[in-house]
């Protein structure tokens, strides 16, 4: 699972960068760079600001991938013992994988909102909801291992 989510994450980042490279000349010189909660642009900047999204995607992916590689530093809400170790670790790896993909998609949607006026903001809220739900379900699943 870990390898699959890493591959999906990297492919999404590369696809977004390819999208930027291919479309670069067709993007307007000035783009929205910030939106209020209703999705209305309230700040503008040069199209070079589009490099923020792939940088954020890559940086957050690498951060999560590094943290994911060191289970001993995780702050797991239950004591990890031999009986629950496999379930706890697989739950955490699943959570990390979903978080990486969701964060990359949020960054991509932010970029699309900047490039295409009127691009809907609701998918970003769905991704944020997916992140919160993933964390909640993972924590509950980990707590459940105390009783198994």
pTM for the model: 0.84
**Domain span at 109:** 2-147
What H or E segment, with its residue span, contains residue 60?
helix 52-68
pLDDT tens per residue across span 47-57:
998 999 999 99
Write down the pLDDT at residue 148: 62
Instruction: Render pLDDT for 107-147 as a digit per residue (tens, 0 to 9).
Output: 998 888 888 877 887 888 888 999 999 999 998 988 887 66
Task: Please write the tens of the pLDDT for every residue from 121-131.
Answer: 788 888 899 99
Structural domain tally of the chain?
Answer: 1
**Coil, strand or helix at 112:** helix
| Number of neighbours of residue 5 by Cβ within 10 angstroms | 20
The answer to whether 142 and 121 are in contact (CB under 8 A) is no
């Amino acid at each position: 699972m870990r390898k699959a989510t890493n591959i999906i994450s990297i492919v999404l980042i590369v696809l977004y960068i390819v999208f930027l490279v291919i479309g670069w000349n067709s993007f307007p010189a000035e783009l929205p760079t910030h939106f209020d909660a209703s999705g209305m642009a309230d700040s503008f900047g040069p199209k070079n600001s589009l490099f923020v999204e792939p940088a954020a995607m890559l940086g957050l992916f690498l951060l999560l991938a590094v943290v994911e590689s060191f289970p001993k530093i995780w702050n797991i809400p239950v004591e990890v013992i031999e009986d629950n170790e496999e379930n706890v670790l697989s739950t955490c790896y699943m959570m990390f994988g979903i978080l990486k993909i969701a964060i990359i998609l949020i960054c991509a949607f932010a970029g699309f909102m900047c490039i295409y006026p009127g691009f809907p903001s609701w998918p970003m809220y769905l991704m944020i909801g997916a992140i919160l739900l993933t964390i909640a379900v993972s924590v509950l699943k980990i707590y459940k291992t105390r009783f198994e």
